[in-house]
């Protein structure tokens, strides 16, 4: 079984109220748990009182149920911390997975970054 590549980059706004977590590659059973510590640390660090986390999945090429589970955990944690959690996923394959799973609303799915910032 070959390991799939997943790159995660986090950017905080100057006032530390907004975070953009960009993920590229594939989010699947082989690497989904790489993303969770980043989301958990971001949302629970006392020095950041986030209003919103935008998960920029525009570079995501593949998503399976393991990756979906991590996204849902992130959304639930964000809600518990009082932050919005939005997912930007213009890749039709990834959008289709989210829509078929019935989680587009729970993940506040957006079609572009400008829409997610609005």
Range(s) of the domain holding residue 83: 6-117
CATH number, residue 47: 3.30.750.24
Number of structural domains (the chain) is 1
| Summary count for the chain: helices (H), strands (E) | 4, 5
Would residue 1 count as lying in a domain?
A: no
* pLDDT value at residue 4: 67
Would residue 17 count as lying in a domain?
A: yes
Query: Mind listing the pLDDT tens digit of every residue in the chain (118 residues)?
Result: 445 689 999 999 999 899 999 999 999 998 998 999 999 999 998 877 899 999 999 999 999 999 999 999 999 999 999 999 999 988 999 988 998 999 988 999 999 999 999 8
**0.85 exceeded by pTM:** yes
Would residue 87 count as lying in a domain?
A: yes
Determine contact, residues 83/52, Cβ cutoff 8 Å: yes
């Amino acid at each position: 079984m070959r390991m799939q590549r997943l790159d995660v980059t986090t950017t905080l706004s100057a006032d530390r109220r907004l975070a953009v977590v960009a993920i590229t590659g594939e989010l699947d059973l082989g690497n989904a748990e790489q993303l969770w510590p980043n989301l958990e640390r971001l949302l629970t660090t006392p020095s950041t009182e986030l209003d919103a986390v935008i998960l920029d999945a525009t570079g995501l090429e593949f998503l399976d149920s393991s990756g979906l589970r991590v996204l849902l955990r992130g959304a639930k944690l964000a809600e518990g911390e009082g932050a919005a959690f939005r997912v930007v996923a213009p890749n039709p394959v990834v959008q289709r997975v989210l829509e078929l799973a019935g989680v587009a609303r729970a993940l506040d799915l957006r079609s572009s970054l400008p829409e997610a910032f609005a």
